[in-house]
Amino acid sequence: MFDVKRIREDFPLLKTKMQGHPLIYFDNGATSLKPQVVIQAINDYYTKLGSNSHRADYDLSYYTSEAIEATRKEVASFINARPEEIIFTSGTTAAINGLAIMLKKFLKKGDEIILSYHEHAANTLPWFALQQELGLVIKYVELTKNGEITTDNLRRLITKQTRIISLALISNVMGVVSKPQKISNLIKDQNIIYIIDAAQAAPHEKIDVKAFDCDFLVFSAHKMLGPTGVGVLYGKMEQLESLDPYLYGGSMNDKYDKTGKMSYLNVPTKFEAGTPNISNIIAFKAAIMYLKSIGMEQIREHELMLREYVIQQLIKEVPKIIIYNKEIESNTVIFNIDGVFAQDVATYLNSYGIAIRSGEHCAKLLHYYLGVGSTLRLSFYLYNTKEEVDVLVAALKAGGDFLDGFFK
């Protein structure tokens, strides 16, 4: 049974107050709160291990190395991959940037990369940089009226020059879910690299890279109850073996000499130069185990219940509400109040201890689809409640003079 009251007891930050009010945290699309087991795991590393990994012949270093590899196995199990296909990075942004650098050797002037207007800056700017450097062509798949990506629209865009398709599994703004199996089937045997940005999906959906049949998939720990500064780059083994490292240093090399001749260790070690974010990688395992103990399907059902409830209440109680993704099933609700600047609303809600995101949400191309730049984003997670939604709606109803009298 999904017991949100019990779950909330695991999150210390929910016991604090903001602006004299209990914290209500609706910005989970940006980052999630951390349960005590994750915080404790970080503390345990510094109090019980404290050493570097893969660099010494004493017990503490061995135990540290084993703890990192245990996380790698847990991540692999979570997305149905092999442990050696899991590379630790500092986050989704670092993973995509690294991929762009490593894939550069396979690209030439005139080659095409397909994106969508949904994409986060982490999945646009690295490709823009390559576009400028190599003379690539960036193309955008047409969205339906609900913001969805269809295989028909994608098919019309693909040519013999298409080399990369890089799309979010779930949009960080609209919450639109792409259909990876259909995309991978569409491009099978076309020598097109398929990359999935799963930063918004991994915290909420079951990820199965074998079913998706993608070449690469990336996500971050901090959006799924884990620490900041840890990300994952998954790649099919044959793809990873074809790539050269994008970081060089200790732990990734087999040997080198004064002439500059060098060789690398095997995948994934050859992509993990330097000292990793050890404490946070170890704590990431605690986050995944916590999510698995609750159940991803139960978390998803809870979020969709909250989403349906908040949309009903906003439409019923808040004048001039504009909701942009009413038809999309996700953990996010994107809205504005007609005539009121989004940041003003977010600042006002902060006075009630309500944390909500406003602005472009790092997806600055989406205005081409929405026709508006700044919006408000509610993003739910497993510890949010209907009672918190009621506080939000009541605060908006009481907006009055602060929000330029939009209720008048």
Residue with tokens 């009413």: 326
- 3-state SS class at 170: strand
How many C-alpha atoms does 302 have within 13 Å on its Cβ side? 21
User: What residue type is assigned to position 172 of the chain?
Assistant: N
Rg of the chain over Cα atoms, rounded to whole angstroms, equals 22
Question: Which parts of 318-350 fold into alpha helices (H)?
Answer: 342-350
d(C-alpha 150, C-alpha 142), whole Å: 8
Residue where the block lists tokens 């398929």: 194
Cα-based torsion angle of the residue sequence 306, 311, 317, 323 in order, rounded to the nearest 10 degrees: 140
Tell me the catalytic residues: 362
**Close Cβ partners of 312 (under 8 Å, ≥ 6 residues apart):** none
Query: Would you list the DSSP string of 70-137?
Result: HHHHHHHHHHT--GGGEEEES-HHHHHHHHHHHHGGG--TT-EEEE-TT--GGGTHHHHHHHHHHT-E
- For residues 228 and 221, give the distance between their C-alpha atoms in angstroms, rounded to a whole number: 7
| Residues ≥6 apart with Cβ < 8 Å to 77 | none
